[in-house]
Structure 1
Amino acid sequence: MTVPATLPDGRAWPNLLILTASAPDAPGFRATAASVTAQGYGPVEHHAIPPGPEAAAACVDALLSETGADYVLVLRAGDLLAPGALAALALEAFLDSADVVTGLRVLFGAAVLGLDAVAQDPGLLDGAVPSGSLGAFTGGECLLSRAALHRAGGLDLSLAHPIADLWPRLAGLRLARIGRPVLLQYEQDLVPVPPPPGLAIAALTDHGAVGGAGIAHRRLTEALVLAGHGVTNHRLAGEIVPAGAEWQDSFPRTEAAIRDGGYDLLLVGNIHGATRRPGILARLGRHLPIAIVLHDLFSITGRCAFPWGCTRLVTGCDALCPTATQYPHLAPSRIAGMHAEKRAFLTAADGPLLLANSAWTHDYTRANAPADTALARIDLAFPAGAFRPGDRAALRRHLGLPAGDVLVMFAAVIADAPGKGFLDLAATLRRLARPGLGFVVVGRLDDPAALGLPNLFVAGPIGDEAILAQWYGACDIHVTASLNETLGQTPVEAGLCGIPTVAYRASGLTTAVIDGVSGLLVPHRPGALGEALATLIEDEDMRQRLGAYARIAFENRFTHAAAALRFNDVLVARGLVPAPIDGRLRFSPALLGRFAFAQDRHPGESGTVPAPSSAPIRLLRRAKRAVLGRDLPLWVRRGLYAGSFLARTLRRHR
């Protein structure tokens, strides 16, 4: 995608000055200069700096005063900028008000040898020099503000490693870190150095890598593997009685496999599809550290995945729970006891570390979990190479979508789930419907006619990430009416495909949508969602601009590398791994395939959601809703469990 003409607030992009200590006619300089030109970034100057301390100092001082540079980047002759590097660094500097922005370095010879990144936490720089065995720290992956250079006392390009020399004097300045390659460095004689051996991690879920939480957990474990950790996946599904999660707490095979597997860490996703109790985790916590990813808030409530504004969590969840007949179900008489059991587990000496995947989830959990609960912030991983912008016209022809209409898309595993604000969204879209405006829905939708929308295109459940990216890329706007997300994966996927999102300013969506950058956030009031959608529908330039910012910002913040870097911060802070001796986190060469510009790009995963249901199954679900609604009374749940238990017993005795 092209770089927008201005920053999101309308100001000009910062002036960038790129300096290379080299003769201007040197072959290495010419290659470096070509990579700068290919960036498509407007306000940038690239200069060869003459050798010699006095000449270099005078030249740098003159350029800093004459060019009005806002930021400086130092490249060795022969170093190459990765595609889109300058816009990525400059946008993150703007969004984070950072003095220093670092990205990934790709080391290559005849093949990709490895990737690495400065491992210092974002925030205030500690000034430790990140040098090491993957090659001396040249600093070509670091964008430095002019103010930072002035505070550090200037830049001496006559030194062999000028940024390493400067780095300690940058201590106390604000560091931002992006999870995408910015520097390609050729090292002819360097042998491949894999990431050092990491942790042995057991990943535990209820049903594996299927559905929203399962997808998120799988992507996170992929990021950890690319950073050198070993991950073994375990599922409780093989030991459950269907419809029995409300009563089941015994998983002897899985528990033994994890307990006796020699693991360093148990990384838990959602397990409430198999059990409502934390019993298996409490027992395993006596043998190894446990970290629970908050894909929802079930770990801190009496029974629900999201409190939906309910205040009983503050006073204590109990039998008066207003949603006890909704998934994840629990008999009202058991809710108070379950809430107490969870809180005891969270505050035990061997209790878990909760991992929040957005700023909102972190703050909400800190405010509502017991005071002694261990909590840390992480980022989720998204396949930025699979979710990428495409040729919109070609994608529409391929998918059979109208060429000239403005297409508004919404997506969820279960598209008509009440928790996704389906009724609100349907009403909003009906008010906007007019000729030239089309609607695309991705996900399970048993009764499309219930939407009452003209020009509706129902894609159904899509389990292939590459195909899902095509649907995003064919549309103009993504919208969600959800109010309850610990993050919200669809806005990030849409943004990576260059599509802006309109959403309420609520829950984790305040991280998944950067207001005025990757989309528009609106207050939760009647008409607000429709007003923002109408603005984007009428303003093609705004749609394209926000889509371009979204792609840049989310490739910075939501890649496998970004997730692994943030997770490493947590592991170091908790004492589970030592800080890298050389100050750099290393990745497998396979990480490069997760980015769109890679020659051998990873295609994405398949089977991420259940296949479309047959017509009879859809009819049965509609009939059930007509009789019982979406809730399941306790007597129905008991009957289903008893029937499932009896059927399993009979099968075993045959």
Structure 2
Amino acid sequence: MSQGPVPPPDDHGVADWPEGSAPAPLPDSLPDGRPWPLIAVTVVRDDGGAALAATLASLDGQAYPRLHHDAREVAAAETDPADRIDADYRLWLRAGDLLAPGALSALCLEAELSGAGAVAGLRVLFAGEVHGLDLLGAPGVASCGEGEPFDCGDILVSRESLGHLGLLASSAPPASESLWSRLAAAGVRTSRIGRPVLLRREPAGGPPPSGLSVASLTDLGHGGGAGIAHRRLGEALELAGHRIAHLRLADESPPAAAEWSDRFSRTEAAIVSGSYDLVLAGNLHGATRGGGFVGRLAAALPTAIALHDLFPLTGRCAHPKDCPVIASGCDARCPTPTEYPQLAPGRIAGAFAAKRQALAAPLLLANSDWTESRARALAPAGTAIAPIRLAFPTGVFRPRDRAALRRELGLPEHDVLVLFAAVIADAPDKGFDDLVATIAQVARPGVGFVAVGRLDDPGVFGLPGLHVPGLIGDEETLAQWYGACDVYLTASRLETLGQTPIEAGLCGTPTVAYRSTGLTSAVIDGVTGLLVEPREDALAEGLDRLIADAALRRRLGAFARIVLESRFSHAAAAVSLNDALAGWPGMPGMAPETRLRFRPEMLRHFAFARDRQAGARGLVAVPSRPAVRLLRRAKQAVLGRGMPLWMRRALYAAALLRRRVSR
């Protein structure tokens, strides 16, 4: 099969390919200390020339430490045994196919960490310009035909898995779709990564299939942690070919009315009459404390709820912690009714009952293993629950020159810098007391600290050299702060996932965190950071270990970048959403696909792409004025962080009055 003339290096949309800069050096061994597995790549050629040279250049640019590759004519490849090299993994390429930067290390590391016998990644399809990306569908989906042999360069397969298929004695594996299907049928464990591994030159096909029409629904929009996560899920769906309309409940009712509002007639009418295929709801408690609104939507059309927290499963709180009441049903016995999201004790039982009733129809989307397990424990029997991955802009959050970033940001050149971050950095639910105690234990000359987020009283740390950039409203600047620091620290014990450790890891900065809640999915112990037991002094011990060991920091940072890009890209999120929806009886018309297709713009979200997607802005609200910060501190000193009912009613009345005056 002739590939034809090979296009100039830039024509496929990857900057300076394949003569560009090599991937960052890999650690000298796997995370557990074993050597990197031997990968054997067979390049099948039928016309040689420039097509073969380009493929071999892409292999040489992998910087993978244990790689054997050879090129064979089609006839020889069909007769020579593939197992003449005792490799741990095998890959077949056709001359003219190009491996994406770092493809082999990403595929291999996922195989080793997941225990999968075969791992597939994205294909980038180009003909002069990129015209699409695709990825093999869920294992077990029947293939659409055998296709041409050796046409499976997007799958890395272990020696044992090939043995299950009887392919060790024959070098002619089938096309990707058929190989993937046969591996699943043989019981081989498979995995998919959400980053490009193969660039394939082929003519553009027809237009992608028409996607879903999705109403993305939030309370206040896309500011703050959960709002950011929901926006990124919408972006992932758009890049997968779906159409997204964003709606905010706050456009109809002020947040101060949330405790007393569960009817949003204009929003509900717009959704029900809008011919949407799906409602993707999440983070609604800033506009309503009830469940009736979601229940009515779910009764009218398919509705999925992203569990950015556990609010949809409780009477009022976002995280029930070790609440003694919830096991028997939330009611007026709630121990924290004045904590956000506040609700008068007499209304909690009604809200809990309404939510339980509403959960009969929607699909709950859990963003971590812990969130999924908690959802199954708290939801009524029969509730539909599926795992998903959140999306992160891996082209924005990427490793950079740390020294250059420090010069640009005015940070000390030689200190070991520890960063902690949250929208409200001093929030109790972020473990602020533990954070203060940990920093006091490890603070010493040569160790600096950076606090990103709202911090009303930086003096509480007693650190004269504390760097406080405050709230950062755009992803590009936030990524620079992550990349300039050596270690990321979180003291939180209440995360459905934990977005900041993933953002830091994508920038090559390892995390120290508690082995708690969703953080066990955000941080892979000994791979992307260190997890410590939730006990006194444990964070300080883990932090001290990384402060003292620069080589370990670099090693964990390198692994973090590879693993987290594979698992938390926009493509990975879109794949997980597709799997969740295709397997849900609530959407019977959505069938699993042999290959999932993505828009060409998906490539712009990866770091090695030409014309990378710019980072988003407006991540958080503008910083409060000094007078507002002073009033907030005074209120906390007198009333604590909770808000009594009389104050909530006063704010509600003021909001209604302001709205009438504005009209």
Could you tell me whether the CA contact under 8 Å between 2:506 and 2:564 is conserved in 1?
yes
In the other structure, the counterpart of 1:599 is: 610
Q: Could you tell me which of 252, 260, 270 is aligned with 1:247?
A: 260
Instruction: Give the match for residue 31 of structure 1.
Output: 54
- Superposed CA RMSD in Å reads 2.0
Query: Displacement, 1:555?
Result: 0.6
Amino acid at match of 1:225: E
Following superposition of structure 1 onto structure 2, how do residues 480-491 of structure 1 map, counting pairs within 5 Å?
A: 480-491=490-501
**Structure 2 Cα separation of the partners of residues 358 and 436 of structure 1:** 36
Distance in 2 between residues matched to 1:113 and 1:157, nearest whole Å: 34
Q: Offset of 1:644 from its aligned partner?
A: 2.2
> Mapping of 1:180-329 within 5 angstroms?
180-187=195-202, 190-329=203-342
- Structure 2 residue runs of 5 or longer lacking an equivalent are 1-23
Give the aligned partner of residue 13 of structure 1: 36
- Distance in 2 separating the partners of 1:298 and 1:522: 27
Indicate if the aligned counterparts of 2:389 and 2:572 stay in contact, CA closer than 8 A. yes
Q: How many residues align?
A: 637
Q: For 2:359, what is the secondary structure of its paired residue? A: helix
Shift of 1:238: 1.3
Aligned to 2:394: 384
Cross-structure match for 2:419: 409
Segments of structure 1 that go 5 or more residues without pairing to the other structure are none
Using the alignment, how far apart are the partners of 1:305 and 1:147 within structure 2? Answer: 45
Change (3 A) 1:520 1:338: same
Deviation of residue 411 (structure 1)? 0.6
Match of 1:285, SS state, is helix
Aligned position for 1:420: 430
Residues 131, 406 of structure 1: alpha-carbon distance in 2 compared, 3 angstrom cutoff: farther
CA offsets, 1:489-526, max 9 Å, x none? Answer: 00110010011011101111010001111001111111
CA–CA distance in structure 2, aligned partners of residues 206 and 169 of structure 1: 45
Q: Which moved more, 1:627-636 or 1:472-481?
A: 627-636
- Alignment check: 8 A CA contact 1:433 1:454 kept: no
- Note the C-alpha offset of 1:98: 0.7
- Corresponding residue to 2:466 among 453, 456, 459: 456
Distance of aligned partners of 1:426 and 1:520 in 2 relative to their CA distance in 1, 3 Å threshold: same
In structure 2, relative to structure 1, the CA distance for the partners of 1:612 and 1:618 (3 Å cut) is same
Quote the residue 1:100 is aligned against.
118
Aligned to 2:140: 126
Q: 1:163 to 1:649 in 2, by over 3 A?
A: closer
Task: Check if 1:538 corresponds to 2:548.
Answer: yes
Q: For 2:74, what is the secondary structure of its paired residue?
A: coil
CA deviations 1:258-313 (Å, max 9, x no partner) are 11111111110111101111122122223211110000000001100001221311
Partner of 1:56: 77
Instruction: Map 1:328-477; keep pairs closer than 5 Å.
Output: 328-347=341-360, 351-477=361-487
Contact 1:472 1:497 in 2 (8 A): yes
* SS, match of residue 246 in structure 1: helix
**Residue 630 (structure 1) aligned to one of 617, 623, 641:** 641
TM-score by length of 2: 0.93
Question: Is this contact kept in 2: 1:23–1:48, CA < 8 A?
Answer: no
1:466 aligned partner, one-letter code = E
- Check whether the contact 2:488–2:501 (CA below 8 A) recurs between aligned residues: yes
- Aligned partner of 2:650 in structure 1 is 639
Post-superposition shift, 1:582? 6.1
In the alignment, what sits opposite 2:513? 503
Q: Give, in whole Å, the separation in 1 of the partners of 2:364 and 2:616.
A: 27
1:177 is matched with: 192
The yes-or-no answer on 1:4 pairing with 2:27 is yes
The one-letter code matched in structure 1 to 2:493 is: L
* Shift in Å, 1:241: 3.2
CA distance in 1, matches of 2:256, 2:338: 14
Q: Determine the structure 2 residue equivalent to 1:40.
A: 63
- 3-state SS of 1:372 partner: coil
Aligned mates of 1:536, 1:235 — CA distance in 2: 43
State, as a whole percentage, how many aligned pairs show the same letter.
57
Which residue does 1:79 correspond to in 2?
97
**Distance in 2, Cα, partners of 1:589 & 1:136:** 27
Deviations 1:408-456 (A, max 9, x none): 0001011101110011111111111000000001001111111222421
- The answer to whether the 8 A contact 1:223-1:561 is kept is yes
**In structure 2, the residue corresponding to 1:115 is in which secondary structure?**
strand
Please say which of residues 381-390 and 364-373 is displaced more in the overlay. Answer: 364-373
Contact 2:420 2:488 in 1 (8 A): yes
Structure 2 contact 546–552 (Cα < 8 Å) conserved: yes
Q: In the aligned structure 1, how far is the partner of 2:301 from the partner of 2:543?
A: 49
- Show the counterpart of 2:130: 112
Name the CA distance, whole Å, in 2 between partners of 1:346 and 1:164: 37
Which AA in structure 1 matches 2:623? P
Q: Could you say what secondary structure the match of 2:94 adopts?
A: coil
Equivalent runs, 1:131-170 vs 2, <5 Å: 138-154=151-167, 161=174, 166-170=179-183
User: Residues 25-53 of structure 1, C-alpha deviation per residue, up to 9 Å, x if partnerless?
Assistant: 5332221111011010010011112332x
Structure 1 431/564 Cα, relative in aligned 2: closer, same or farther at 3 Å? same
In 1: Cα distance, 2:88 partner to 2:212 partner? 41
Contact between 2:579 and 2:592, CA under 8 Å: does it hold in 1?
Answer: no
In the alignment, the residues of structure 1 paired with residue 651 and residue 575 of structure 2 have an alpha-carbon distance, to the nearest angstrom, of 45
Deviates more, 1:159-168 or 1:92-101: 159-168
Residues 582 and 648 (structure 1 numbering): CA distance in 2 closer, same or farther, change over 3 Å?
closer
**Distance of 1:137 and 1:205 partners within structure 2:** 47
Pair 1:137–1:234, CA change in 2 (3 A): farther
| Contact 2:94/2:150 (8 A) holds in 1 | no
Query: In the alignment, is residue 566 of structure 1 matched against residue 566 of structure 2?
Result: no
CA distance in 2, matches of 1:132, 1:51: 17
Q: Is the 8 A contact 2:167 2:173 kept in 1?
A: no
Question: 2:180, 2:287 → 1: CA distance?
Answer: 50
- CA displacement at 1:93 relative to structure 2: 0.4
Corresponding residue for residue 618 of structure 1 = 629
Separation of aligned partners in 2, 1:105 and 1:311? 50
